[in-house]
Amino acid sequence: MSLDEIRQKVIFHNSVDVWIIACGEKNKDWTNPEEYKKFIAYLLKNNLNLKAFNLCTHEAGATEEEKTKFTEILAQTKETDPNSKTYTIKLNESAVDTIRNYF
């Protein structure tokens, strides 16, 4: 699935899913929480309209072990590190371009 495909289904997406899909488009490993934090820092620096929200592990897909582990690691530092949080991202054309320019 691509960013364009998920954008057509729903306007707002959580940043973890966007991260995973963007990495998939570029054949990059998405499982490193430190890389996710750099991605979020980049999005915040580029003034993407991100809204923080609590993503429960079961919402991330409890049957997907890697994704669950990933979100649990992020949750450990979300109170002290804004780059560890999960955000909603409105996937308009400008946002997709910004996300793709990260890589």
Q: What is the pLDDT of residues 28-64, one digit of tens each?
A: 999 999 999 999 999 999 999 898 877 655 444 434 7
* pTM of the full structure: 0.84
Residue-range definition of the domain harbouring residue 97? 3-102
Report the range out of 5-9, 49-53, 64-68, 87-91 with the highest average pLDDT: 87-91
Question: d(Cα 50, Cα 28) in Å, to the nearest integer?
Answer: 23
Look at the chain and report how many structural domains it folds into.
Answer: 1
- Calculate the CA 97 to chain-centre distance: 15
What token pair was written down for 20? 């995973």
